[in-house]
């Protein structure tokens, strides 16, 4: 079972005319453990770094239940949504909420909400959208099995 890791990398890149500027960027990586996440983020981001040295400054496990990604070029932002699934306890009759974190790729907050609700409305579960926020994630690297 793979996990999601939010990896933050830092490197220097050419600023306008001011010389070099240190930047930090966040990515989401599908991996088995921290070691693999570090190896994969270095492998994925190194070709994008033209100057200087790439440094992995932080890796943390992200508890993500579902990702809603698409291939639309204009959709270049990632939003983190907290969704509460509502169930009724048959014995006591009380309502129970179970929260789940989801990532939605979209071009804007209203479109992210629209995409998320369209995906969730197709399910049988009752839910409420507790929160949705923009993230600093620039890209998502899912595991792809090696070609034989």
So what's the pLDDT on residue 1? 57
Specify the pTM: 0.85
So what's the pLDDT on residue 71? 82
66-137 in CATH: which number?
3.10.20
Q: Which residues of the chain have pLDDT under 70?
A: 1, 18
| Strand spans (E) along 15-148 | 20-31, 55-62, 66-68, 77-88, 95-106, 126-134, 137-141
R_g of the chain computed on alpha carbons: 19
Q: How many residues does the chain have?
A: 148
So what's the pLDDT on residue 101? 95
Domain spans of the chain, in order of start: 3-62, 66-137
- Specify the CATH class of 3-62 in words: alpha beta
So what's the pLDDT on residue 12? 83
Contact 96, 120 (CB under 8 A): no
Do the first three CATH levels of 3-62 and 66-137 match, i.e. the same topology? yes
Strand order in the sheet with 77-88: 66-68, 95-106, 77-88, 126-134
Bridge partners of 141, per DSSP, are 29
Q: What is the DSSP letter of 74?
A: T
So what's the pLDDT on residue 74? 85
């Amino acid at each position: 079972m793979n996990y999601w890791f939010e990896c933050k990398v830092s490197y220097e890149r050419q600023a306008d005319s001011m010389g070099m500027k240190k930047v930090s960027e966040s990515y989401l990586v599908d991996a088995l453990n921290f070691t693999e996440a570090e190896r994969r983020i270095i492998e994925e981001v190194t070709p994008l770094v033209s100057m200087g040295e790439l440094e992995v400054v932080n890796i943390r496990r992200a508890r993500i239940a579902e990702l809603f990604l698409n291939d639309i070029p204009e959709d270049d932002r990632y939003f983190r949504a907290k969704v509460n699934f509502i169930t009724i306890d048959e014995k006591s009759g009380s309502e129970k909420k179970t929260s789940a974190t989801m990532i939605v790729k979209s071009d804007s907050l209203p479109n992210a909400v629209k995409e998320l609700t369209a995906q969730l409305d197709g399910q049988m579960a009752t839910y409420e959208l507790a929160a949705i926020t923009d993230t600093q994630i620039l890209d998502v690297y899912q595991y792809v099995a090696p070609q034989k």
